[in-house]
Amino acid sequence: CSPGWPQLWSIVVMDTVNVIIVTLSLPDMAAAFFNGGVDPCAGGAGRDAPACQEALGKFANLMTLLGLVSALLNFGFGPLIGAAADRLGTKPLFVASTLAKFVTGLFFAGLALGHMSIYYVLISTEVISLLPAKLTYGLWIVERTPPEHRSVTFARLGAATALEGIVAPLLAVLLTPKSAAMVVLALGCAVLVTAVVCLPGSPSAGATASVRPPACLPGVPRQQRIGQQLRGLLKLFAHPKYRLVVLLSLIGGALEAGFASIWFLYLKEKFGMTLQTMAPILSLTTLSNLVAQIWLIKPLQRRFGLKGVISMAFLSGIVTCTGYLLAPTPGALLLVAVLSGLGGLADPGITAVITNLASADEGELGMTLGAAFSVGSISSIVGPLLFRALFAGGFPGLPFVFAIATDVLAVFVLSRVPSNLF
């Protein structure tokens, strides 16, 4: 096995494809599960059938509850997982995370073959929330990347974990539930073997593991575990060098999660679009993000600096939301999708700033990044709740008006962040 980067990117891509397959397949499997094993949405009245709507309604309510639980688990355990990485390195976290996902794949295959309850799959996904992939990948990248290259690497990570627009259309044509289960199992095995056998250990793991026991492991007093968690969170909100950057992270995360939560509903409400007619817009948006995150971020950062790149991302958000608000036809949204890619540079840029600042805190890099991930989980709760409430307020475009105003606020906050922090 080679030094590590090929293994990381292969794990990221295979894991992302697995997540997409499970996410897209579960609604149909859930409809059959809640209807005695027969899919009520197939044939006849399709998704307009009362039995189909009832089954999907149960699944949607269950997913809403589990999504909230998952976000709370992310919030509570982020600093503790990060503190463990400071002392043990990231490979043990990788192995534990991939093992948990492989077990989820087994449950998913059992559900697809009709031999297992959907609740096993859903509960196992909550266990995975204790070791979130984004945090694990981020810690691994920070260990091996100099500060000036982190924004580019995080952008590539964002591109590798945003493949829905490419993978989803292929899945709709090529995979049945049983074949999807086989693909998930095969990719899960490949990811597990790559993480256990080929992925190198942390450069600093041996040097730090013997200093003191990680505060999240059994045998460590509960007060110390809570203190570790609170110290990481308070540090982000109280320390002058973190406050404004964390606020930008909250704004950006809430906007991204909120936009995703009402995107389909808005297009269906305004233009009567279906999943099939939305596919070109989704694919173009994904390709635009890939171009920005893989090829554009490096020259843009060289020309305008990291602060300039983040500013462009929020300005791009203003253009994108204005386009969705004012577009007269679905065809106009294709142009908006092409221009939307720069908006995806905010998250890797802000993440790079936080990691660079945290690198100066001796022995607490993982804890600080874990706390930053916990803050991000707040955005994943607040954003969708706020955007859905605005969408239900009578004017479907209201969430986009709010997003435009919030992007303007973000640009103002960014202007107040000292340039020496970038």
**Cβ neighbours of residue 71 under 8 Å, at least 6 residues apart?**
377, 378, 380, 381
Single-letter residue type at 133: A
pLDDT computed for residue 210 by the predictor = 33
For residue 295, count other CB atoms closer than 10 A to its CB: 13
Instruction: Return the SS3 of 117.
Output: coil
Tokens 């982020």, residue? 78
Per-residue confidence in pLDDT tens, the chain, 422 aa? 557 899 999 999 999 888 888 887 888 888 889 888 887 877 665 566 788 878 878 887 888 788 888 888 877 778 788 878 878 888 898 899 999 999 999 999 999 888 889 999 999 988 888 888 888 898 889 888 898 899 999 999 998 888 766 776 666 566 777 888 899 999 999 999 999 998 887 775 443 333 333 344 444 444 444 455 556 666 677 677 788 999 999 999 999 999 988 888 888 888 888 766 887 888 899 899 999 999 999 999 999 999 999 999 999 999 999 999 999 999 999 999 999 999 999 999 999 999 888 877 655 677 778 878 877 888 888 898 899 889 888 788 999 999 999 999 999 999 999 988 88
Q: Model-level pTM? A: 0.83
Instruction: Return the SS3 of 279.
Output: helix
pLDDT computed for residue 11 by the predictor = 93
pLDDT computed for residue 320 by the predictor = 97
End-to-end alpha carbon distance in the chain: 35
In degrees, rounded to 5, the angle at the alpha carbon of residue 131 between the alpha carbons of residues 126 and 134 is 110
Instruction: Return the SS3 of 272.
Output: coil
Residues 273/267, Cβ–Cβ less than 8 Å = yes
Instruction: Return the SS3 of 132.
Output: coil
- Calpha distance 108→182 (Å, rounded): 10
- Calpha distance 90→103 (Å, rounded): 20
Instruction: Return the SS3 of 204.
Output: coil
Considering Cα of 47, then 257, then 322, then 276, what sign does the dihedral take? negative
DSSP track, 365-390: HHHHHHHHHHHHHHHHHHHHHHHHHH
Q: Which long-range contacts (CB under 8 A, 24 or more apart) does 188-192 make?
A: 188/18, 188/98, 188/101, 188/102, 188/105, 188/106, 189/102, 190/10, 190/14, 191/11, 191/14, 191/15, 191/18, 191/98, 191/101, 191/102, 192/98, 192/99, 192/102
